[in-house]
Amino acid sequence: MTIISSNQVSVTVAPASVQLNTGAQQQFTAAVTGTSNTAVTWSVTGLGCAGTICGTITPGGLYTAPASVPNPSFLNVTATSVADTTKSSTAIVIIVQEIGVSVSPASVQLDAGASQQFTAKVINTLVTGVTWSVSGTGCVGSACGTITSAGLYTAPEAVPSPPAVTVKATSIADGVTSATAAVTIISPIKVAIAPSTTIVTIGNQQQFQATVTGTTNTAVTWSVSGSGCSGNACGTITSAGLYTAPATVPSPASVTIKATAQADPSSFGSAIATIAPTNNSKLNGQYAFLFTGFDSNGVYEAAGSITANGQGMITSGLEDINNTNGPATDLSITGTYQVEADNRGMMTITSSLGTNVFRFSLNGLGTKGRLISFDNSGIRGSGSLELQNSAVFDASYLTGGYAFGLAGMDAAGFRIGALGLIFPDGSSFISGSSFDVNDGGIVSPTYAPFDGAYTVDDATGRGTATLSIPGFDGGTLDFAIYIISANEFLMISTDPISINNPIFAGPAEAQIGAPYTAASLDGRSVFNLSATTGTAPQDTVGGLSFDGVSNVTMNFDQNSGGDITVAGVLNGAYALQLNGRGTLNLVNPSTGATSIWYLYAFAPNEAFVLDASTSAVAFGEMLPQTTIRPFSNSDILGTYLFGSGEPVVASTPLLSGVANFDGGNTVQGRGIITGTEDINQSPSLLANQALSGTYSVSSVSNNGRGAILLTSPSGKTIAVWVISNSEFVGLNVDSTTPQPAILYFEQ
């Protein structure tokens, strides 16, 4: 009889199988049962390798894969019992070539807002794609910059703190292996000069201003040059940027004003100054104008075109007027004008109905202007004028979609606003897509579809349009139109006022970017609205922030007959149809009050806007905010023309002038404003009034809002909202001004 133990020795290896990259390590363990001696010996074998070519393993079971893949690529790791060498266990190891990822360049220094193309190389796999990502310890999301699926990285406009971000490429093959590149964001030295373009008459002066960012050394060196002049023949400029034009006009007449950063001579800003023989030559060519206001009987609106000869004469022109006495259409007009050195001026226009005097201000190139009435004729109002492109005075240039916005008065004296969308065919036919009206709080159903007809006089740029819309006298609305460009024209109704026909006028804009979706409203827009409480204006300016899906937040300032709201907030939702007609549903989070606006888009983040829920009939427009954050005082820099927008009551004070902003922060963090304005403050006509004070653009709210604090005229506070570096809107928000009008500032 042979006596044996009931326990047989057995060995188990863990893990039983594994896949390893070349050179990688794996810890194996062996469990021995059936004996008190649990020791094992380790070995490695393979069909395609021998010795260390199969890899190595320590007495403790730590396996290191070989540097290259054997053929075949699998091998055995075996643990053999020391107590019974006939007992063992084997694990299967498959060796694979390690995936490698590299990024080029490995490190880079970028200016804020600049771009860098990164490339990724993936080895040892047929799947060579990567996913890109950006991160940083001092930023999150887009504040670290953005990167496309192709590896194009764009640095943020604002430098994060610390200014280092990491660009990472991760292999799609295993989702783990990655490589990184280091990016350092720096604030580049940039020089901005204002005005960027202007006209200067011989012997006169123009103050240029420069702002330097990206360095504490903000000094610049000024110079002037021209292809048709040299030395003093191009004019002279002081170390403070005061340019004096030469005594004669060079040929060509343009010179370049240059401001070079002393901190970095490779960084500079430049402006173009065109030398003109006289101030009157700044107003030269054919200009369309739109004027809205009141006479002794009620609303008074006019649209037309004048031809200025650059020598002080309005040699020809046409005008359409509509008021409660009835329309006067296609009137011939002539007149005179005088432009002053600071681009303000006076204009006299004469027609068969009489003579009217206006004060106006022009931008630096004389292509746009703002005007106000400036006489005792009983007609008070304000308007705009813009240089026309006579090359498109033909019906064929009006084709595609145009959104338009109109405001005025009905026969009962109530304010009326309307938004519409038409499609002229380039010949004479109009198809209408949509028309919405708010008449003193009575919001009509949307009219759609409708048709119509139009004409354009090739010689004058004046045309007519008839829209077949039910509900108006004769089932039609008739307009005179004035072409500014292929993308813009002015409209004024020419029907006599009646119970079914209002008087209203406004601009039309060609649609860009159609068809529209919710994503067409994405980011920030600045808006302005004029309305009435019945006895006083109710004007609003502010910003709209769209999320590109359906949500909107509004920040605003309002003056409702002297009742002031500063930094108000509304939240809500929006929807946009393919043709550009949309709605905003807004809620006051404090009171729960709701309001509805209609909007008619003519470009992404750009639309005419109409209140569709109250008798105030707020009407205006919103424009995309293109100034890049962070905001600062330098976002308003240089010389701006300014003027009052639509007056909604007859006694509203009207302003026109020019203002100079220094872009600095020398007065307790505020910049300095100086200028001259003309004021029609019935019955007083105040010419050449000094304008002075301080201003700031908030870097705290960082949404483009700012404020002007005037010391002359004293005690006036104007809330401003920056649209771009060349345009902003303002509103008087002190309670001593119960009859405000929107103020438009442009370069």
The pLDDT of residue 213 is above 90:
no
Of the options 2.60.40.10, 3.30.70.370, 3.40.50.150, 3.30.70.2190, the CATH number for the domain spanning 10-96: 2.60.40.10
Task: Please report the pLDDT score of residue 186 as a whole number.
Answer: 87
Average pLDDT value for residue range 579-596: 94
Nearest to 716 by CA among 634, 649, 651, 655: 655
Model pLDDT for residues 175-204, shown as the tens digit of each residue = 888 999 999 998 888 898 988 999 999 999
Mean pLDDT (the chain) is: 94
Q: Are 77 and 42 in contact (CB under 8 A)?
A: yes
For residue 305, is pLDDT > 80? Answer: yes
| Residue 317: closest CA among 110, 448, 462, 502 | 462
CATH superfamily of 100-186: Cadherins (2.60.40.60)
pLDDT in tens, 98-111: 888 999 999 999 98
pLDDT for residue 6 is more than 60: no
Among 3.10.129.10, 2.60.40.1080, 3.40.50.300, 3.10.580.10, name the CATH number for the domain at 195-277: 2.60.40.1080
- Does residue 634 come out as left (phi exceeding 0), alpha (psi in the -120 to 50 range) or beta? alpha
CB neighbourhood size of 735 (10 A) = 12
What band does 97 get if pLDDT is binned at 50, 70 and 90?
confident
Comparing 208-217, 316-325, 484-493, 646-655, the range with the smallest average pLDDT is 208-217
Query: What would the mean pLDDT of 78-98 be, rounded to a whole number?
Result: 93
Read off the pLDDT of residues 697-711 as tens digits, 9 standing for 90 and up.
998 889 999 999 999
Model pTM score? 0.79
The reported pLDDT for the residue numbered 251 is 94
Same fold, 10-96 and 100-186: yes
High-pLDDT (> 70) share of the chain, %: 99
Which superfamily does CATH assign the domain made up of 280-387 to? Quinohemoprotein amine dehydrogenase alpha subunit, domain 2 (2.40.128.120)
What's residue 565's pLDDT? 95
Query: What mean pLDDT is predicted for residues 634-660?
Result: 95
So what's the pLDDT on residue 343?
96
Q: What pLDDT is stored for residue 323 in this prediction?
A: 97
- Read off the pLDDT band of 2 (50, 70, 90): low
**Contact between 291 and 307 (Cβ < 8 Å):** no
Domain 518-624 in CATH 2.60.40.1120: no
- Distance between CA atoms of residues 284 and 253, nearest Å: 15
Q: Which residues lie closer than 8 Å to 324 by C-beta, 6 or more apart?
A: 295, 297, 298, 299, 497, 503
- Residues sharing a CB contact under 8 Å with residue 715, sequence separation 6 or more, in sequence order: 734, 736
CATH class of the domain defined by 633-746: mainly beta
Given a contact cutoff of 8 angstroms between Cβ atoms, the answer to whether 548 and 539 are in contact is no
pLDDT of residue 3: 57
- Residue 630: pLDDT band by 50, 70, 90 thresholds? confident
